[in-house]
Amino acid sequence: MPMPARVTPMPSVRRLPAYLRLLRRFQEDGDERVSCTRIAGELSLDATQVRKDLSLTGIAGRPRIGYRIHDLIQAIVVFLGWDRQTEALLVGTGNLGRALLGYEPFGVNGLDIIMAFDVDPARAGTTLFGRPVYGMNELSMRAAERALRVAVLTVPGSVADTVARSLVEAGVTGIWNFTPARLSVPDHVLVEQVDLLSSWAGLSARMTRRTV
């Protein structure tokens, strides 16, 4: 008999950071409890959907009362694996790469990009936002040294797949891919795609055909 295989709905997972941000704001305001109705109102979502999303984390609310904000924040943070810092490396210190190295919200949300790599030998030996930049030849050694499992990929699309292979060889099992290239990696390697042109297409098409 096959397992029911309860899979986690990714749309729900992707909404969790928005809840987290809001809950932290409520907490700063001194609130202790919150209802799904209120969260839904703030984020223009359906209250039932918020309830379903939050139940993912295993937290329970109380009828008439709502949820304890502190517990809810904790549950989301643990669910996302943001209770411990994930150390990551970044490849490609162009404009986008540097922007991500300097993106402060990552720090308080479980991501610590501790080193960067670039093909340009002139950049090797420098630092960016306090993080060392190494040449590509050091990638395998440095990644192994710190047992890094996550890589942020901000190289030109033309070399993305080649670099991805090196990353996998170096032991990386999760790639945050900011290039438009589709990566061919083994099944055990997770790829999260951020496609700027896809997003721009979404806006542009809607503006072009206002009824879209």
Partner DNA sequence: TAGATTGTTAATCGATTAACAATC
Q: If binding is defined by CB under 7 A, does position 18 make contact with DNA?
A: no
Number of residues that bind DNA (CB under 7 A): 26
Applying CB under 8 A, among 110, 123, 131, 140 the residue interacting with a second copy is 110
| Beta-strand pair 174-177/150-153 | parallel
Residue partners of 73: CB distance under 8 A and separation at least 6: 20, 23, 24, 27
Q: Which CB, 8 or 63, lies closer to a second copy?
A: 8
149 in Cβ contact with 114 (< 8 Å): no
Tell whether residue 12 is a contact of DNA (CB under 7 A): yes
Using CB under 8 A as the binding criterion, the count of chain residues that bind a second copy stands at 58
**CB under 8 Å to 170, separation ≥6 — which residues?**
139, 140, 143, 144, 148
The residue from 86, 126, 140, 166 that contacts a second copy (CB under 8 A) is: 86
Least Cβ distance, residue 42 to DNA (angstroms): 13
Decide: helix, strand or coil at residue 167.
helix
- Decide whether 56 or 119 has the Cβ nearer to DNA: 56
- Residue 200 binding partner per list DNA, a second copy, none, with a CB distance cut-off of 5 to 8 Å that depends on partner kind: a second copy
| Helices assigned H by DSSP within the chain | 10-28, 36-43, 47-55, 69-80, 95-101, 139-145, 157-169, 196-208
Q: Does 98 bind a second copy (CB under 8 A)?
A: yes
Which of 62, 208 has the CB closer to a second copy?
208
Burial class (CB in 10 A: 0-12, 13-18, 19+), 191: middle
Q: Interface residues for DNA in 33-62 (CB under 7 A)?
A: 35-38, 45-49, 51-52, 54-55, 60-62
The sheet carrying 86-91 orders its strands as 127-128, 131-135, 111-118, 86-91, 150-153, 174-177, 190-193
Out of a second copy, DNA, none, which partner does residue 52 contact, by CB within 5 to 8 A per kind?
DNA
Residues making contact with a second copy (CB under 8 A)? 7-8, 10, 13-18, 21, 42-44, 79-82, 86, 94-96, 98-99, 102-103, 105-106, 109-111, 149-150, 157, 173-174, 176, 180, 182, 190, 192, 194-209, 211-212
